Amino acid sequence: MVTRAASDTSGLGLLTWLGPVIPQGVLVTGVKAGWRAAWQTMMTELAPQSRDGEYQRPKYAFDGAIAEDPKARFPSVSERYVLYLGNACPWCHRVSLTVALRGLEDRVRIVKMTDDAERASRGGWVFESDRPDPVFGARDLREVYDLQSGKSYTYEGRCTAPLMVDAERKVAVNNESADIARMLNDVEWLGSVNGPNKSSRYDEGSVQLRPPELANDIDSLNDWLYTKLNNGVYRCGFSTNQAAHNRAAVDVAEALEALEKRLRESRFMHGDKVTESDVRAFPTIVRFDAVYATLFKCSSRRVADMPNLRAWMQDFYLLPGVRETVDVDGYRTSYFGQLFPLNPGGIVPVGPTAKDLGLGLDPSRGSRAHSDLFHFK
């Protein structure tokens, strides 16, 4: 005798039809194996993997540097350089934050790109009609990489953002975010609209994010932040086996706990004034609850549950120019919508939003006077 539920056949599809021929266990095992093989292939394309299944960040092809010498290959001349930045990318965000905090918006040109792998010919970054490529007229970032040598050729390698291009010579300068942010901090700009060698919106002078007296401490913390947190969340999300994920997840949790403790004692990463270490940490922290905690499976901790880290994030958000660099809704749309191997359905969560994160609220951690917030050259 066969007993059936009253007219409810929902969910009785493939397993029902094939059940008499192929046992359910065999069918499920086969489908899982096929899906995992396809997923593994897509993950390898998305993120280079080590033999033990751990994400390995690719090396960067261009390592040029801007110098204050007018005779240098890349002199620090205002309006000569273009920064190609992806809106959702945290590595691009540290560059845009450096531009904003130092007030360099009229010294270098920023072109924001959209993450859309279906429209891109390789990689994911494309230009929109209202934000076209001002140097090459390219359709996507791959074409910029192909054309930057002055002649059309096929660039071999990953077409990553950020990318700094010398618009006068039409060649790539650098595509490593830490290098770009550091040179934007270090150099003063020749031929500035505010006069020679003046790169500041403040009467106190030029913002210095890496003051010499703190340079060693900043470099040490930056290295730790990169390993444990900035790259740690990507090692979590892009791992292809459980052991690799577990190692990364422990690093991320330890980093968040250490930062919570550190920020209990000081307003910013190195005392009461903003430094490069704050710039390195903020892009990861402001994306954490909205993206990494869920999509990248970094779910053992939330910034929302860490009062000091959350207050630091809110405090940093209120710094001059920072608000304009943040797009929490855009982060969710890009990560959940474009990272297909991690979210095949493409469903984008409705939150948390910037309001949910408390961005825009003053956590009352200290004075908002420029002289109290920044080091100056």
The pLDDT, as a whole number, for residue 259 is: 98
Residues 265 and 350 in one domain: yes
pLDDT confidence band for 43 (50 / 70 / 90): low
CB within 8 A of 78, min separation 6: which ones? 106, 107, 108, 189, 190, 191, 192, 193
- Nearest-angstrom CA–CA distance, 248 and 345: 25
* Residue 133 maps to a domain: yes
Residues 370 and 288 in one domain: yes
Q: Which of these is catalytic: 55, 89, 145, 236?
A: 89
Q: What is the CA radius of gyration of the chain?
A: 24
Last residue of a domain, one of 156, 179, 201: 201
* Residue 53 maps to a domain: no
Last residue of a domain, one of 201, 223, 245: 201
Q: Which two tokens stand for residue 242?
A: 């459980």
What is the mean predicted confidence (pLDDT) over 197-217?
83
Residues 184 and 231 in one domain: no
Which of the residue ranges 40-44, 51-55, 158-162, 325-329 would you say has the lowest mean pLDDT? Answer: 40-44
Total domains in the chain come to: 2
pLDDT confidence band for 26 (50 / 70 / 90): low
Residue 196: count of CB within 10 angstroms of its CB: 9
Residues 223 and 372 in one domain: yes
**Residue 129 structural domain:** 81-201
Residues 196 and 232 in one domain: no
Q: Which of these is catalytic: 81, 145, 234, 331?
A: 234
Residues 167 and 271 in one domain: no
Give the 3-state secondary structure of the chain: CCCCCCCCCCCCCHHHHHCCCCCHHHHHHHHHHHHHHHHHHHHHHHCCECCCCCECCCCCCCECCCECCCCCCCECECCCEEEEEECCCHHHHHHHHHHHHHCCCCCCEEEEEEECCCCCCCCCEECECCECCCCCCCCEHHHHHHHCCCCCCCCCCCCCCCEEEECCCCEEEECCHHHHHHHHHHCCCECCCCCCCCCCCECCECEECCCHHHHHHHHHHHHHHHHHHHCHHHHHHCCCCHHHHHHHHHHHHHHHHHHHHHHHHCCECCECCECHHHHHHHHHHHHHHHHHCCCCCCCCCCHHHCHHHHHHHHHHHCCCCCHHHCCHHHHHHHHHHHCHHHCCCCCCCCCCCCCCCCCCCCCCCCCCCHHHHEEEC
Q: What CATH number is associated with residue 226?
A: 1.20.1050.10
* Residue 248 maps to a domain: yes
- Nearest-angstrom CA–CA distance, 264 and 144: 45
Active site residue 234: yes
Nearest to 43 by CA among 230, 239, 333, 334: 239
* Residue 274 maps to a domain: yes
pLDDT digits (tens, 9 = 90+) for 143-183: 999 999 776 677 888 889 999 999 999 999 999 999 999 99
pLDDT confidence band for 192 (50 / 70 / 90): very low
The pLDDT, as a whole number, for residue 12 is: 53
The pLDDT, as a whole number, for residue 196 is: 44
The pLDDT, as a whole number, for residue 42 is: 60
The pLDDT, as a whole number, for residue 155 is: 84
Active site residue 236: no
Residues 240 and 364 in one domain: yes
The pLDDT, as a whole number, for residue 316 is: 98
Residues 96 and 152 in one domain: yes
pLDDT beyond 60 at 24: yes
Winning range, highest mean pLDDT, from 7-11, 15-19, 70-74, 252-256: 252-256
- Annotation: binding site: 125, 176-177
pLDDT confidence band for 118 (50 / 70 / 90): confident
The pLDDT, as a whole number, for residue 38 is: 60
The pLDDT, as a whole number, for residue 197 is: 44
pTM: 0.89
Residue 288: count of CB within 10 angstroms of its CB: 25
What is the mean predicted confidence (pLDDT) over 5-24?
62
pLDDT digits (tens, 9 = 90+) for 316-338: 999 999 999 999 999 999 999 99
Percent of the chain with pLDDT over 90: 72
* Residue 2 maps to a domain: no
Name residue 245's amino acid.
Answer: H
Last residue of a domain, one of 152, 178, 201: 201
Residues 166 and 246 in one domain: no
- Nearest-angstrom CA–CA distance, 224 and 229: 8
* Residue 196 maps to a domain: yes
- Annotation: binding site for glutathione: 125, 176-177
What is the mean predicted confidence (pLDDT) over 28-39?
65
Contact 131, 113 (CB under 8 A): yes
Peptide linkage before 162 cis (omega within 30 of 0): yes
The pLDDT, as a whole number, for residue 193 is: 41
CB within 8 A of 39, min separation 6: which ones? 341
Residues 216 and 175 in one domain: no
Percent of the chain with pLDDT over 70: 84
- Nearest-angstrom CA–CA distance, 298 and 286: 14
Contact 87, 269 (CB under 8 A): no
Annotate 54-91 with b (16+ C-beta within 10 A) or e (fewer).
bbeeeebbbebbbeeeeeeebbbbbebbbbbbbbbbbb
pLDDT beyond 70 at 78: yes
Q: What CATH number is associated with residue 187?
A: 3.40.30.10
Average pLDDT, the chain: 89
* Residue 206 maps to a domain: no
* Residue 49 maps to a domain: no
The pLDDT, as a whole number, for residue 49 is: 66
Residues 352 and 288 in one domain: yes
Residues 142 and 247 in one domain: no
pLDDT beyond 90 at 206: yes
pLDDT digits (tens, 9 = 90+) for 340-358: 889 999 999 999 999 999 9
pLDDT confidence band for 16 (50 / 70 / 90): low
